[in-house]
Each structure stands twice: as structure tokens, then as C-alpha cells.
């Protein structure tokens, strides 16, 4: 059974750096074809894909946020970490991690999400 769980701070201040951790089970990121993505959803708004890391440690980012994001994986811990710099109130959202298909990038299994509020 594949499960994912996000963890991180619920509140960050503007200009701070956000670090979120996705801890997963039921698959190994080192297995060929495995990928994990981060997706966010501001309150009452649509989903937005942020970043993806694959089994080869190749990384991909949404163009609009590329300069602020870093995604990394720790295969020994079954974790994927997302770092977002220079946080702004507009970044307030629920952040999800999801197992991602390597061919057509659909999100097969999602974590429960973690709400991050950016406020001073």
C-alpha cells in the first residue's frame, strides 16, 4: 500500500524559507520509474504543480517559481524535501506531495496535505 505524508511548519513569516518533508512508504524512489511531486492549493483556489524529482534524482520545476524552489530526495529515509525561499502571504496554501507517473506525470497517490500560512 502506497502512502505519503507531508510535514512542516504551519506558520512562516514573510521572507522566510519554508522546508516541507514528504515521508512515503510502499515504494522506493530509487526504483526506476518512480517520481514524487509537490503540488499546492491556496484556500478556495485551484491546484498548482510545483516540482518533481525522479528515480534518477533529476528535478523539474514550474517555470514561475523555479528560482525559489529546490526539491531533493533521501532514498534511505524514503523522504522528499521541498524548500521554498522568500515566502510571501500569496504562498499561503495547502501543500501536497504525490507519487507521480514517470511517463505522463499523473498523480496516482496523494498525501493528506499540510496547510502553510504566511503571516507576520
Partner 1 sequence: QSALTQPASVSGSPGQSITISCTGTSSDVGGNDSVSWYQQHPGKAPKLIIYDVSNRPSGVSYRFSGSKSGYTASLTISGLQAEDEADYYCSSYTSNTGVVFGGGTKLTVV
Span from 11-19, 21-29, 57-65, 82-90 in contact with partner 1 (CB under 8 A): 57-65
Judged by CB under 8 A, the residue of 27, 38, 55, 107 near partner 1 is 107
Give Cβ neighbours of residue 81 (< 8 Å, ≥ 6 apart): 19, 20, 21, 22, 71, 72, 73, 74
CB 63 within 8 A of CB 49: no
Phi, psi at 97, each rounded to 5°: -110, 155
Nine-digit cell string for 99? 507519487
CB of 106 to partner 1, least distance (A): 4
The verdict on 55 binding partner 1 (CB under 8 A) reads no
How do the residues of the chain divide into helix, strand and coil, expressed in percent and rounded to 5? 10, 50, 40
Distance CA 42, CA 53 (A): 22
Residue from 61, 70, 75, 83 in contact with partner 1 (CB under 8 A): 61
57 is an interface residue for partner 1 by CB under 8 A: no
**Binding flag, residue 2, partner 1 (CB under 8 A):** no
Closest contact distance (angstroms) between CB of 53 and partner 1 is 12
Write out the binding residues for partner 1, residues 86-105 only, by CB under 8 A. 96, 101, 103-105
Select from 52, 81, 87, 118 the one that contacts partner 1 (CB under 8 A).
Answer: 52
Amino acid at each position: 500500500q502506497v502512502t505519503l505524508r507531508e510535514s512542516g511548519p504551519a506558520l512562516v513569516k514573510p521572507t522566510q524559507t519554508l522546508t516541507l518533508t514528504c515521508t512515503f512508504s510502499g515504494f522506493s524512489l530509487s526504483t526506476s520509474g518512480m517520481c514524487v511531486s509537490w503540488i499546492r492549493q491556496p484556500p478556495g483556489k485551484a491546484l498548482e504543480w510545483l516540482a518533481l524529482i525522479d528515480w534518477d534524482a533529476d528535478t523539474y520545476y514550474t517555470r514561475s517559481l523555479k528560482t525559489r524552489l529546490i526539491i531533493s530526495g533521501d532514498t534511505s529515509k524514503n523522504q522528499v524535501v521541498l524548500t521554498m525561499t522568500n515566502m510571501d502571504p500569496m504562498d499561503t496554501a495547502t501543500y501536497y506531495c504525490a507519487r507521480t507517473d514517470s511517463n505522463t506525470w499523473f498523480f496516482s497517490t496523494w498525501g493528506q496535505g499540510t496547510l502553510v500560512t504566511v503571516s507576520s
